[in-house]
């Protein structure tokens, strides 16, 4: 998967949990998926619409009542769901809120090896300085990212690397995500 597609996929909070649950065999109807993810109805509906729009999910054309539609993974969605399931299995339940933040997974993927701030930003073309800074800080607080400041350098430069759960997620995603355009 291309990094741009990965950024787009993870831009909705509940996209990764939805894909992971579909991969795990949860029925592709709204009620079971909603219960499995714990999302609000509005956020869930927005994430489902987004996944359909980017081509990872589709409505099952031969099933169901219009008010109780069934969804299924597309061919592209099958590989995305497998990756989402690996990510979900690596994180503890209390870490899932951090995973739902839009830049957490792309930043971790970029940190498959230690990088400077500008190198991360270069990999994630559309991220702003503020969003990257906030994402790194929230992952530092959770001990998913470690920051080392090179004081002798002028100006001092920070080097970031994924550690602990962040390191595991980074290794898993880096093997499936490509940074070429």
DSSP assignment string, 37-62: H---HHHHHHHHHHHHHTTSEEE-TT
User: How do residues 77-100 score in pLDDT, each as one tens digit?
Assistant: 999 999 999 999 988 888 888 999
Average of per-residue pLDDT values in the chain: 89
Produce one character per residue of 80-109: b if its CB has 16 or more CB atoms within 10 Å, e if not.
Answer: bbebbbbbbebbeeebeebbbbbbbbbbbb
Identify whether the C-beta of residue 100 lies closer than 8 Å to the C-beta of residue 13. Answer: yes
Q: What phi and psi, each to the nearest 5 degrees, are found at residue 160?
A: -110, 140
Query: On the CB side of 154, how many CA atoms lie within 13 Å of its CA?
Result: 0
The residue-averaged pLDDT of 1-24 equals 92
The residue-averaged pLDDT of 41-65 equals 87
Whether 172 shows a pLDDT value over 80: the answer reads yes
| Segment holding 147, helix H or strand E | strand 145-150
The residue-averaged pLDDT of 123-129 equals 91
* pLDDT for the residue numbered 181: 53
3-state helix, strand, coil in the chain (%, to 5): 55, 15, 35
Instruction: Give 102's pLDDT tier (boundaries 50, 70, 90).
Output: confident
Of residues 130 and 155, the one with the higher pLDDT is: 130
The residue-averaged pLDDT of 103-112 equals 93
* pLDDT for the residue numbered 94: 85
Lowest mean pLDDT among 65-74, 82-91, 135-144: 65-74
Instruction: Give 119's pLDDT tier (boundaries 50, 70, 90).
Output: very high
């Amino acid at each position: 998967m291309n990094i741009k597609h990965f950024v787009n996929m993870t831009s909705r909070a509940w996209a990764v949990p939805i894909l992971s649950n579909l991969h795990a065999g949860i029925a592709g109807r709204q009620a079971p998926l909603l219960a499995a993810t714990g999302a609000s109805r509005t956020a869930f509906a927005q994430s489902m619409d987004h996944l359909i729009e980017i081509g990872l999910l589709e409505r099952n054309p031969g099933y169901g009542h219009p008010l109780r539609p069934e969804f299924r993974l597309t061919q592209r969605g099958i590989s995305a769901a497998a990756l989402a399931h690996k990510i979900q299995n690596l994180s503890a339940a209390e870490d899932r809120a951090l995973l739902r933040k839009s830049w957490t997974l792309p930043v971790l993927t970029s940190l498959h090896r230690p990088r400077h701030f500008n190198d991360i930003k270069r990999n994630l073309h559309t991220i702003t300085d503020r969003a990257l800074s906030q994402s790194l800080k929230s992952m530092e607080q959770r001990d998913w990212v470690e920051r080392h400041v090179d004081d002798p350098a002028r100006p001092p430069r920070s080097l970031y690397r994924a550690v602990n759960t962040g390191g595991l997620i980074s290794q898993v995603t880096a093997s499936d995500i490509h940074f070429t355009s």
